[in-house]
Amino acid sequence: MTTVLICDDRRSVREGLTRVMSAVPGVSRIDCVAHGDELLARYSRQPVDVVLVGTQRAMPAGVEATRRLVSANPQANVIVFGAPDDAGSIAAAIAGGARGYLRWDASRPELVAALAHTLASTSVPAPRQPADPGVQLTERELQVLRGMSQGKSNGQIGRELYLSEDTVKTHARRLFRKLGVRDRAQAVAHGFRRGLVS
């Protein structure tokens, strides 16, 4: 049976995620904390199988909580969750030691898969995996990916690279396809794991 600890400073998020997680087969206990200090204290007293940490755009609390927990407990299995387009926060949390991430609107099958993969000590996969693990991005695709990792919009990336927004979207679709991902957050997380962005 799987034990889960949820960390997010928003009560509504903790309660909502608890309801969803309690419907996941195999989850035997779910505890919640609101802040990073509570997370460290609770985990040190009573380690759990999986820790879910919420991230919010332009707010470093979730990223910092992840970094501190993994630094103190390298064996901790952390999954971050956040908005699909908040690539910066999610990628930073993964760089800080999280094993993977989930979108706020993840389905129950996605939650089950994430828990299973995390407990198997592997990174949480993107829903679609690239056919070729050695896929190479073009220099332009890498530039677009780096812009995404910095939280820039397609328009901002286009202005910096002297490209139209439609051209940036075309490059983004191509790199999504090559990496086997479906959105910006997954692309950036994948890029961090592969060392394509830093």
Residue 128 located in a structural domain: no
CB 196 within 8 A of CB 148: no
Per-residue model confidence (pLDDT) at position 118: 67
d(CA 93, CA 173): 24
User: Does a structural domain hold residue 9?
Assistant: yes
In a domain, 130, yes or no: no
Quote the domain boundaries for residue 177: 139-194
Which of the four pLDDT bands, split at 50, 70 and 90, describes residue 183? confident
56 & 151 share domain: no
Residue 107 DSSP label:
-
pLDDT at position 80 over 50:
yes
| Domain contains 159 | yes
Query: At 171, which CATH number?
Result: 1.10.10.10
Q: Are residues 106 and 158 in the same domain?
A: no
Same domain as 167, residue 71: no
Q: What is the CATH number of the domain that holds 64?
A: 3.40.50.2300
Residue 185 neighbours by CB under 8 Å, 6+ apart: 82, 83, 84, 85, 86, 87, 90, 91, 101, 103
Grade residue 34 by pLDDT with cuts at 50, 70 and 90.
very high
